[in-house]
Amino acid sequence: MNKMMTYLLVSIVAIIAIIFLVGLFIPRDRTFIKTAVLNSDVSKVFNLVTDFRNQTTWRNDVKEIIVINDNTWTEVPIKGTAITFKVKNKVVNKIFEIEIVEPKNFNGYWVGTFKQTKQDLTEIEFKEVVTISNPFFRTLSYLFVDLDKIMESYLQNLKQKLSE
């Protein structure tokens, strides 16, 4: 029994070490970009995206929004870890930039750019950059967190809310 416990302990330590070592070779930053052309006025799209208080009415991945103040809120997802965001830059109908404040095991930012076309369509670009310093968490993020899928879901929810 004692030998079996030793093998088990050594195996667990080896797995953790491998996850950590793999993380050393994975880039710290993960960048995701989504673009779309929407058949809606830029102000309507911008107001919808920047109104974080009401995102639970149109996003199917968010359970709750906890408002801290006019520029800071916590997004509680249906699955996963709650994330606190803070507005860094907001230029009406042009740019909306937010940064990740919590949790502390990663940081990053999200930038939405909005442009009205001559045909009264709205071109959007959403860029998310997540930085994970800890090599262990970096590996786990690649294995278990599909940020591209999360951004695609956000974009699809937005289009659905806009009836597109």
| Residue ranges per structural domain of the chain | 2-161
Tell me the CATH number of domain 2-161, given options 3.30.530.20, 3.90.1150.10, 3.30.230.10, 3.40.640.10: 3.30.530.20
* DSSP letter string, 37-94: EESS-HHHHHHHHH-GGGGGGT-TTEEEEEEEETTEEEEEESSS--EEEEEEEEETTT
One digit per residue, the tens of pLDDT, for the chain of length 164 reads: 688 888 888 888 888 888 888 888 999 999 999 999 999 999 999 999 999 999 999 999 999 999 999 999 999 999 888 999 999 999 999 999 999 999 888 899 999 999 999 898 999 999 999 999 899 888 888 888 788 898 999 999 999 999 87
pTM above 0.75, yes or no: yes
